[in-house]
Chains A and B, each alone.
Chain A
Amino acid sequence: MKETKEYTLYNDTVMDHFLNPRNMGDVQEADGVGEVGAAACGDIMKISLKIRDGKIEDARFKTFGCGSAIASSSMATELIKGRTLEEAKNFSNQEVVDALGGLPPVKIHCSVLAEEALKAAIEDYEAKQAKVPVVA
């Protein structure tokens, strides 16, 4: 093709997060790990967290899924780093959609998956906290 315009399936922000994902990988010795699957499409997303002093110090993701699922998990981990657990518990997929500059309607569920993976990771952290007695 000779044209200079680039035709892409998603907008520039989504493509950027898909092609150059932020925070891809696993947090070493993670404090909380959440892995969730979307029954609708079969995508799987895993978010791992490092939590210090009630704040999300680090967040990383791994995703089995389409371009928008990868971009959603990349953006979600960017957004939640530095937030308190309380803030993170109120995290909504809409924030991911807005930060990505919108997703096609059929792909909104990808952002929901990112929210669910984050919340599953927080639940995992809290469940572990409840089990481990605080060492004085």
Chain B
Amino acid sequence: MDKRSVYLDHQTTTPVLEEALQAMLPYFREVYGSPSSLHRFGLQVREGLKEARQKIAALINAESEEDLIFTSGGTESSNLAIKGFADANHRKGNHIVVSAIEHPSVMNSIEYLTKHGFEVSSVPVNAIGQINPEDVRAAITDKTILVCVHLVNHDIGTIQPVKEIGKITAEKGIALYCDALAAAGWMPIDVRDLGVQLLSFSPHRFYGPKGIGVLYRNRKARVTSHIHGGVQEGGRRAGTENVPAIIGAGVAAEVAIKEMSQRVEHVAMLQKRLYDGLWKHIKYIKLNGPVPGPLRICNTLNLSTEFIEGEGQLLLLDYQGIAVASGSSCVSKSLKVSHVLSAIQLDHALAQGNIIMSLGKDNTVEDVDYVIETFPKIVDKLRNMSPMWKEFEEGVIDSVIAPTGRGKSFTQHAADISGKPAH
């Protein structure tokens, strides 16, 4: 029997657009020169790269395509932005301000810097994962050289007040780096309006190929190269360019601009339908991050279903043809719940039951209705298997989402029987 296949993990990666693939193909075997070469093979590729660069620059309204540095992916772009900027500017100060819920490529790059003389202030977020610009202002010291805030959270979809933060950094004369990984291609981005000096993203999140990342760096922000070799990318990132991927990224950016409003409208409609449908059919379910609307990116829902764990939900959904992600500790290789869920102070029991569904342009109403029909059955199956569900019904433990006033908290119960507090 053919199962319906519904991919709901577009915040992890997306398929390559047909137009992008077709544009890439000649660059593998026909137009295969290196752009550094001075002969016609190389010069022909240069022209293709310049066009791609212009299309990608247009996606973020960069002043010039020369402000883009191509890397191997979003992770390398964050590393280059943070470590490269810190290296180039360490004489001005050794303090960095960062939000508590950044992507691991940002968090871990900054953690690396703390082992090399840098100090960090982490700015907390509120219950829906929003940074307060005034908290950023308060964290800035006379040693601060860089503020790092993402545009959209990769887990819970919160859109951040980057423009307001940009006004503060401009006023203080500090650089602002914005990780736009979860935003690019899914909402309009204007680096000049945001007031950022550095911004990174990854085209495979919006129907471009993997293996290519972008770092926008305006001329006011100096970054020191971390990949040493030849003078590709204006000497800021050595190594022969991944030409086919850059060409594909250019097409993905061009199509993203052209289709932005209809893509956003379609996906936001599906997001609302999925949210309404799941909340109608499942009890004790919580949305993490803002409700669908102006504060949330159009394509994701992050939910916690109480009394059950996330990996089991993910596996049963996959078995029914529905691909999702989870921030549960059982899913992570470190056995720790997502630091984003910890930062919004989500109860441990709810963090364990976490599922992330992220929609794409090719998802349909039928796909969403299939999820709305399938997921409640999975929740029932797992609740039936979970000791917590019966213990809740018997009043031994209480619900976090809709407390009845009977019983102790799940977290307390878990700590009592495991002998240690849950993390």
A41 engages B417 (CB within 8 Å): no
| Interface residue from A19, A26, A64 paired with B319 (Cβ < 8 Å) | A19
A91 close to chain B: CB less than 8 A: no
B311 engages A42 (CB within 8 Å): no
Mark B160-189 against chain A: 1 for CB-CB distance below 8 A, else 0. 000000000000000000000000000000
A37 engages B417 (CB within 8 Å): yes
B386 close to chain A: CB less than 8 A: yes
B390 close to chain A: CB less than 8 A: yes
Chain B 386-419 interface residues, beta-carbon cutoff 8 Å to A: 386-388, 390, 413-415, 417-419
**Contact of A35 with B335 at beta-carbon distance under 8 Å, contacts A42-B329, A64-B307 already known:** no
A64 engages B5 (CB within 8 Å): no
B390 engages A62 (CB within 8 Å): yes
A36 close to chain B: CB less than 8 A: yes
Min CB–CB distance B108 → chain A (angstroms): 20
B420 close to chain A: CB less than 8 A: yes
Assembly CA distance A80 to B70 (angstroms)? 58
B348 engages A64 (CB within 8 Å): no
| Interface residue from A18, A37, A63 paired with B386 (Cβ < 8 Å) | A63
B308 close to chain A: CB less than 8 A: yes
Mark A100-136 against chain B: 1 for CB-CB distance below 8 A, else 0. 0000001000000000000000000000000000000
Mark B336-367 against chain A: 1 for CB-CB distance below 8 A, else 0. 01000000000011001000000000000000
Chain B 305-338 interface residues, beta-carbon cutoff 8 Å to A: 307-312, 315-316, 318-319, 328-331, 333, 335, 337
A39 engages B315 (CB within 8 Å): no
B38 close to chain A: CB less than 8 A: no
A66 engages B309 (CB within 8 Å): yes
Chain A 39-88 interface residues, beta-carbon cutoff 8 Å to B: 39-46, 62-67, 69-70
Assembly CA distance A36 to B420 (angstroms)? 11
Mark B238-267 against chain A: 1 for CB-CB distance below 8 A, else 0. 000000000000000000000000000000
B5 engages A43 (CB within 8 Å): no
A24 close to chain B: CB less than 8 A: yes
The count of A-to-B residue pairs whose CB atoms sit within 8 angstroms is 86
Q: Which residues of A contact B417 (CB under 8 A)?
A: 35-37, 44
**Contact of A41 with B5 at beta-carbon distance under 8 Å, contacts A63-B385, A63-B387, A64-B387 already known:** no
CB-CB nearest in chain B for A74: B385
CB-CB nearest in chain B for A19: B319
Min CB–CB distance A104 → chain B (angstroms): 9
A42 engages B414 (CB within 8 Å): yes
Q: Which residues of B contact A39 (CB under 8 A)?
A: 418-422
A67 engages B311 (CB within 8 Å): yes
Assembly CA distance A28 to B419 (angstroms)? 27
B387 engages A43 (CB within 8 Å): no
**Contact of A64 with B388 at beta-carbon distance under 8 Å, contacts A44-B417, A106-B335 already known:** yes
A38 close to chain B: CB less than 8 A: yes
Q: Which residues of B contact A36 (CB under 8 A)?
A: 417-418
B312 engages A67 (CB within 8 Å): yes
A42 engages B386 (CB within 8 Å): no
B420 engages A24 (CB within 8 Å): no
Assembly CA distance A43 to B423 (angstroms)? 12
A62 engages B385 (CB within 8 Å): yes
CB-CB nearest in chain A for B310: A66
| Interface residue from A21, A41, A62 paired with B330 (Cβ < 8 Å) | A41
A44 engages B385 (CB within 8 Å): no
Q: Which residues of A contact B386 (CB under 8 A)?
A: 62-64
Min CB–CB distance A134 → chain B (angstroms): 30
Q: Which residues of B contact A21 (CB under 8 A)?
A: 385
Assembly CA distance A70 to B310 (angstroms)? 13
B387 engages A69 (CB within 8 Å): no
CB-CB nearest in chain B for A18: B315
B385 engages A43 (CB within 8 Å): no
A44 engages B390 (CB within 8 Å): no
B329 engages A41 (CB within 8 Å): yes
Where the two chains meet, the residues of B that have a C-beta atom closer than 8 Å to any C-beta of A are 5, 307-312, 315-316, 318-319, 328-331, 333, 335, 337, 348-349, 352, 384-388, 390, 413-415, 417-423
15 A–B pairs (Cβ distance < 8 Å), ordered by A? A24-B385, A26-B390, A35-B387, A35-B417, A37-B418, A38-B418, A40-B335, A42-B414, A43-B309, A44-B413, A44-B418, A64-B386, A67-B311, A70-B385, A106-B333
Known: A1-B5, A18-B315, A62-B386. 11 other contacts (CB 8 A): A38-B418, A41-B329, A41-B330, A41-B335, A42-B352, A62-B390, A64-B307, A65-B309, A69-B309, A69-B330, A106-B333
Closest 3 CB pairs of A and B: A37-B418, A66-B330, A66-B311
